[in-house]
């Protein structure tokens, strides 16, 4: 599920939100594919892809891509944009 409709959107507004989330997933997945073997945190992805979205959207996308088997969460961490540790993920599928 790319978009989590927590604000109970309907119609064209809901479709636009779903499309935007799908686009974010595609951009993030493509970045991981192009950087196989590199372990990345949500903050790293947000910074490197130049996405114009909240960090929570990047985290949602990474969680969804992990659930669908594209990414693996590692046990490693790095300091994120808010000074707190974040787990690192890597591309899983070949």
pLDDT in tens, 37-54: 999 999 999 999 989 999
Structural domains of the chain sorted by starting position, each given as residue range(s) with its CATH number in brackets:
11-91 (1.10.10.10)
What is the model's pTM?
A: 0.77
Which position has the higher pLDDT, 39 or 24?
Answer: 39
Q: Tell me the C-alpha distance between 33 and 53, whole Å.
A: 21
**What number of H helices and E strands is found in the chain?**
3, 2
pLDDT of 5:
65
Q: Could you tell me how far CA 8 lies from the centroid of its own chain?
A: 22
Residues 29-38: tens digit of each pLDDT: 999 999 999 9
């Amino acid at each position: 599920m790319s978009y989590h409709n927590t604000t109970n959107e309907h119609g064209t507004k809901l479709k636009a939100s779903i499309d935007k989330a799908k686009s974010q997933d595609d951009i993030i997945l493509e970045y991981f594919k192009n950087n196989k073997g590199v372990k990345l945190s949500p903050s790293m992805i947000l910074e490197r892809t130049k996405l114009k979205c909240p960090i929570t959207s990047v985290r949602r996308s990474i969680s969804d891509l992990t659930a669908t088997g594209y990414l693996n969460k590692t046990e490693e961490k790095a300091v994120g944009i808010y000074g707190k540790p974040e787990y690192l993920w890597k591309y899983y599928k070949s």
